[in-house]
Amino acid sequence: MAAAADKAYEALKQRVVGGTYAPGEQLKEEHLARELGISRTPVRAALKRLVDDGLATADPNRGVRVAEWTEFDIEETFDLRGLLESHAAELAARRGGPALAAVLDDLNDQMDRAIRKGGSELPERLQDINARFHRAILDGSGSPRLRSILTALIDMPIVLRSHFISTLQDKLQSLSHHRDLAAAVRAEDGELAKQVMQLHLRVAAHRFKRQRQDFKPAATGTARR
């Protein structure tokens, strides 16, 4: 039963963060169980985990729905990442060494190739590479507490969906920041890594606010892909 619940959770989480379900859309237990080919019990457990993770909300009168995001939610998410992830970057630069720098360089090269190739799958590809880059820094920090807290923030739908509305210039700027972070890790310069991460996330926050109008239609209709 636990394995089925875990499988259902991962499947639903990917759909939520990837934009398959629009913010506010109801997640019906019976329908999802039929769609996933499992019983309702593991689906119920998976939906509870989505609620616990802040990816969904539960209301006796409205059921379980994909979480909707207010301006305060957006501000808080980026503020928390700025505070905590910059600290993680500082630790990673001091502890990660050449091995971590090599991993980051490889991910940056993957991002560079993806941007050059372009195509309709670019947002999903960048979403995946970017998440792996930031998780590599979390792992390199050597702090299980930071990793536990920040993994949830990095996987927030509001963060992941930003890849679907960014411009080519935005993508190249983000890649430049990533390369600077890899250089700071290679130099074992914790203070520089901290400052670059703060800049990276601050720019991302301003960028997302600027393009907020492009995101809003997804909250009332079909999620953008």
Other Cβ atoms within 10 Å of 19 Cβ, number: 22
End residue of a domain, out of 19, 40, 66:
66
Residue 39: give its domain's CATH number: 1.10.10.10
pLDDT tens by residue, 166-205 = 889 999 999 999 999 999 999 999 999 999 999 999 998 8
43 and 75 within one domain: no
Same domain, 215 and 133: yes
Which domain-ending residue is among 15, 39, 66? 66
Q: Are residues 169 and 186 in the same domain?
A: yes
Q: How far apart are the first and last CA of the chain?
A: 32
**Percent with pLDDT over 90 in the chain:** 56
53 in the same domain as 82:
no
Domain count, the chain: 2
Say yes or no: 60 and 130 in one domain.
no
The encoded tokens of residue 214 equal: 């492009």
Q: Which of 16, 46, 66 is the last residue of a domain?
A: 66
Checking if the pLDDT of 158 tops 90, the result is no
Q: Which domain holds residue 157?
A: 71-219
Across the range 138-150, mean pLDDT stands at 93
Between residues 76 and 38, which one has the greater pLDDT?
A: 38
Residues 133 and 85 in one domain: yes
The candidate with the shortest Cα–Cα distance to 210, out of 74, 19, 107, is 74
Is 32 in the same domain as 100?
no
Q: Is the pLDDT of residue 85 over 80?
A: yes
pLDDT at position 87 over 60: yes
List, in sequence order, every beta strand (DSSP E) within 12-114. 56-59, 63-66
Separation between Cα atoms, residue 156 and residue 77, nearest integer Å: 8
75 found inside a domain: yes
Are 202 and 97 within one domain?
yes
- Asked whether residue 37 is domain-assigned, the answer is yes
